[in-house]
Structure 1
Amino acid sequence: MKKNNNLYVIAVTVVATLGGLLFGYDTAVISGAEKSIQSYLIDSQGLSTLVHGITTSSALIGCIIGGLLSGIFASKLGRKKTLLLAASLFFISALGSSYPEFLFFQKGNPTIGLLLMFNFYRIIGGIGVGLASAVCPMYIGEIAPAKIRGQLVSLNQFAIIFGMLVVYFVNWGIANGQPLEWINNIGWRRMFLSETIPAGLFGILLFFVPETPRYLSLTNREDEALRILTRINGAEAAKQILREIKNSVQHHKSPKLYSFGKKVIIIGILLSIFQQFVGINVALYYAPRIFESMGAAKDASLMQTVIMGLVNVIFTVVAIFTVDKWGRKPLLIIGSAGMALGMFAISGLAFMEIIGMGTLVFIIIYTASFMMSWGPITWVLISEIFPNKIRGKAVAVAVAAQWAANYFISSTYPAMMEFSGGLTYGFYGLMSVLSLIFVWKMVPETKGKTLEEMEGLWKKKG
């Protein structure tokens, strides 16, 4: 492949990964604002901590809805237009969340109606996250050449965690040195409003990228598909790839989800569920306690986000540079083993009521293992294991399962910890072991294969 073609694919990928950045930005922006939201909308009305919890996590409801709808939109509108829709939802959510009083309510007069309107705007943003989480890796996977597809799809995970890191610094920059009264009245609004900048940039740049060749072929626009494939792969390779795409589209006229058997769908769902059941989110929740125990009480949250953010970035980069060399399965197996080691060690220390540097080391081992494996590689596999004909629907099912698993694990964590911290982390360690066995026994290696070659694998097994 010519160098300039690589540059074109990378440029298109970078635009698509802005959706991943917004995924991270939107889900993490609440971290800096939630105390002010509690003060302004919850405590001022004498509402319970349950209402606070629901409000803080309301975007997750939208994520599940967006994940479920992503297949319909990706199939009916196309991958590019679905991303444009997601960008619009991010923009509307940022504006609405920053000023939920718009049109219907009076500023400075919190009511139940205003609280519901704030949650409505957060759910709108969550739908954008759900759409982007499914369609960004799908878009990149369908446009990238097989040899570098793993690296390019992994960039989406890098963008997600980079978006989280950026918003932590944005939130800190807005609040730093400001009195609490200003933060509770104005600061939290600016935190949400800041998202309009990446959302607007994403929406504008999407007008300059093409639709994916696979979707164009599915909708009988083969001349356009060939033109894009030629620019990416060169003339000869483009013709061969288009023939394979056409064959894959024509082989199954039925768009039913199980057209290629149930196994591929089950693998996609289990990849998503294991990515959440290994406990990555709760591991990050636990880290601030350790920093506090080490005497960093005042700046614990900032220090935690910076250190964990740097670990996330460094080991996601490890995955980007190894996924197309080592393959998907080896990285997932190594990652599962590292996560199991980290979680079982944390479990043992929790039973012994030891908290400190040793626990921190094992949390970093666990987090690093996740970020070099299950973090990015799950998205790579979800973008490439499903046949062209059912990819939109199948990715939607897998992503909806992922958000549902995320919600389940996050919501059960406090009750599990109240029962037993040691058993809680032991459970996540057990899930890491089961994830290793699942990958070893069921997940096919996709390194270097075209999406159409993967389809052939399921035809043989089906």
Structure 2
Amino acid sequence: MTSRTQKTNKTYLLFIALAAAFGGFLFGYDTAVISGTIGFVKDKFALDTVMEGWFVSSALVGCIVGVAFAGELSDRFGRKKSLIASGLLFSISAIGCAVCGSHTELIIYRLVGGLGVGIASMLSPLYISEVSPANVRGRMVALYQFAITLGILCAYFANALLLGGGESSVSFAEGSLLHTVFVSEVWRSMFGSEVIPALLFFAAMFVVPESPRWYASKNRNEEAGAVLAKINGAEVAKKELKSIKNAIEKEGESSWSMLLQPGIRIAVFVGVALALLSQFTGINAIIYYGPRIMEEAGLQLSDALGGQVVIGAVNVLATVYAIMKIDQFGRKNLMKGGIIGMFISLIAVGTLFILEMTQGYLLIVFILTFIMSFAVGYGPVLWVLLSEIYPTKVRGRAMSVATLSVWVGTAVIGQVVPWMLETLTPAGTFFIFAVCCLPVPFILKSVPETKGLSLEDIESAWVKAKE
């Protein structure tokens, strides 16, 4: 009987974690789908380098705005309602981008989609962290990163498939909307394909429970206890709820000023620094501009998109390994190992460009090594740490600040990489990314190992930290 109950609890936890992690799928899909559209949109609207950068980074500006408000909204109205809003924004954006009539409309719908990405990028891992028991929390939150990589892979695959369909003799009447979307302007169907996962996420958020820690922060203890009991069983739920309530009482009133308290401000600094560096090490530059980099290395567009599918597959498989090992090896060890692999790979790629040895597949081998290293370490560990290290009452606000830093970094990269590739050359660009890997091991010295600790124990460790 006990085994059956435990199995049911694990099944329920996995269901709600996967449902929330689907926000990561949309995050990854939206991030990667643009890689196949850049050249087409540039030609369609005759964009110069600056406007091309704005097209890429416009959604990221929406992300920044979404994240800026998501923390406050989620602390006030709950994680669940905010995630439902995110799914709605994703759906509107996908449809709008597919049927937009001008470059301005396209940018507006990309901004709307960015709002959805920003909200989901902060709240999905936070929600999973708040519902998961300590012994499996790392794996559960890492599902979010897995969903991101799966979304990236599916976007690459969809782009390659739609490109192939657009180049074949598909029987749509010339001049019709379907012909425009799927044949003559295939970039529209690339964007529009996101509507399917967006609507699935929107629907899934209606059937998951609210975060028990959010319920407890609003003194809705019966509802908090009911959710905890369904996940962990009645006895464990009572103890966990008591621990949560004790931690909340010690925190006092929630406010932005709490982020500056001793101990907590160290956690905020660490989160912001790691978030920014996660982008400055070049991961999204490869996701956004991979086809262009590969074309410059001598591959044709269709081959480059096919190469992106391979990149996406490696990303997914490496993330699966991280999910299996994060609660065993610990957060810090995985991130340190990953950052070493990233540094070596970036130096190798830059060197290949200097030596003009980019023909063939040697370049792709080192790009795949970089992706693998990121997916094993930085990718999943960043989101796990950001979802773990902040007190309950300010977790939404604190994670909002850290996630905002992710998107500020991503927006900067999206805007400047075309200029970097053109002015500094690909070699110089990759060397700069490699230099940005160097501070990470030193920052990690300030982070306690969080594997196996409850959120309340982690909170206590930060609050007691001396500066």
What's 1:413 paired with?
417
Letter in 1 for 2:456: E
Counterparts in 2 of 1:353 and 1:332: CA distance versus 1, 3 Å: same
Give me the whole-angstrom Cα distance separating, in 1, the residues matched to 2:297 and 2:351.
Answer: 20
Alpha carbons of 1:410 and 1:55: their partners in 2 closer, same or farther (altered >3 Å)? closer
Deviation at 1:92, TM superposition (A): 1.2
Aligned-residue sequence identity (percent) comes to: 40
What is the aligned partner in structure 1 of residue 440 from structure 2?
Answer: 435
2:171 corresponds in structure 1 to: none
Q: After alignment, is 290-299 or 315-324 more displaced?
A: 290-299
> How many angstroms apart in 2 are the aligned matches of 1:69 and 1:301?
37
Given candidates 335, 341, 345, the residue that maps to 2:344 is 341
> CA–CA distance in 2 between the matches of 1:48 and 1:146?
50
Question: What residue number does 1:258 align with?
Answer: 260
Q: Which moved more, 1:231-240 or 1:317-326?
A: 231-240
Matched, 1:401 2:387: no
Structure 1 runs not aligned, ≥5 long: 102-113
Aligned-residue offset at 1:160:
1.0
Q: Which residue is 1:155 aligned to?
A: 143
Change (3 A) 1:121 1:212: same
Q: Distance in 2 between matches of 1:149 and 1:346?
A: 35
Alpha-carbon distance change, 411 to 454 in structure 1, aligned in 2, over 3 angstroms = same
* Contact 1:337–1:436 (8 Å) recurs in 2: no
- 1:370 is matched by which residue type in structure 2? F
> Residue type matched to 2:385 in 1?
L
Q: How far apart are the structure 1 equivalents of 2:26 and 2:290? A: 24
2:107 aligned residue: 119
Deviation at 1:200, TM superposition (A): 1.4
Aligned partners of 2:317, 2:385: CA distance in 1, in Å?
21
Quick one: which of 28, 31, 48 aligns to 2:32?
Answer: 28
Quick one: which amino acid aligns to residue 374 of structure 1? Y
Deviations, residues 13-63 of structure 1 (Å, cap 9, x unaligned): 1111111111112222333334443344x13xxx64432331233111101
407-416 vs 10-19, which deviates more? 407-416
Amino acid at match of 2:434: G
- Does structure 1 retain, via aligned residues, the 8 Å contact 2:285–2:417? yes
**1:80 alignment partner AA:** K
In structure 1, C-alpha distance between the alignment counterparts of 2:298 and 2:185, rounded to whole Å: 31
**Alignment size in residue pairs:** 445
Whole-Å Cα distance in 2 between the matches of residues 117 and 286 of structure 1?
Answer: 23
| Further displaced range: 284-293 or 315-324 | 284-293
Measured after TM superposition, the shift of residue 284 of structure 1 is 4.5
Q: How far apart, in 2, do the equivalents of 1:31 and 1:426 lie?
A: 22
Summarize the alignment of residues 263-302 of structure 1 with structure 2, pairs less than 5 Å apart. Answer: 263-284=266-287, 288=291, 292=295, 296-297=299-300, 299-302=302-305
Contact 1:287 1:363 in 2 (8 A): no
Aligned equivalents of 2:193, 2:294: Cα separation in 1: 28
1:232 aligns with 2:231: yes
Task: Quote the offset at 1:71 in angstroms.
Answer: 0.5
Instruction: Give the C-alpha shift of residue 184 in structure 1.
Output: 6.1
Deviates more, 1:169-178 or 1:322-331: 169-178
Question: Shift of residue 421 of structure 1?
Answer: 4.1
CA–CA separation in structure 1 for the residues paired with 2:40 and 2:424:
30
Q: Is the 8 A contact 1:25 1:195 kept in 2?
A: yes
> CA deviation digits over 1:402-438, x for unaligned, max 9?
1111122333333334235444322222222221222
SS at match of 1:178: helix
Between the aligned partners of 1:285 and 1:209, the Cα distance in structure 2 is 33
State how far apart, in whole Å, the 1-side matches of 2:339 and 2:146 are: 19
Residues 1:360 and 2:364 aligned together: yes
- Give the alignment's TM-score, normalised by structure 1: 0.90
Partner of 2:17: 13
Partner of 1:207: 206
State the SS of the aligned residue for 1:432.
coil
Q: CA deviation at 1:295?
A: 6.1
Q: Relative to 1, partners in 2 of residues 1:420 and 1:190: Cα closer, same or farther, differing over 3 Å?
A: closer
Written as runs of structure 1 = structure 2, the 5 A alignment for 1:105-184 is 114-179=102-167, 182=179, 183=182
In 1, Cα distance between the equivalents of 2:352 and 2:199?
A: 46
- More moved, 282-291 vs 188-197: 282-291
1: CA distance, partners of 2:167 / 2:213: 53
Q: Please name the residue that 1:195 is paired with.
A: 194
Q: Pick from 378, 383, 408: which aligns with 1:379?
A: 383
Query: CA 1:420–1:167 in structure 2 vs 1: closer, same or farther (change >3 Å)?
Result: closer
Query: How far did 1:293 drift?
Result: 7.3
Check conservation: 2:27, 2:148, Cα contact below 8 A.
Answer: yes
Distance 1:192 1:297 in 2: 22
Aligned partners of 1:37 and 1:184 also within 8 Å: no
Structure 2 unaligned regions, length at least 5: 169-173
Distance 1:421 1:197, change over 3 A: closer
Task: Summarize the Cα distance change of 1:197–1:389 in structure 2 as closer, same or farther, 3 Å threshold.
Answer: same
The one-letter code matched in structure 2 to 1:380 is V
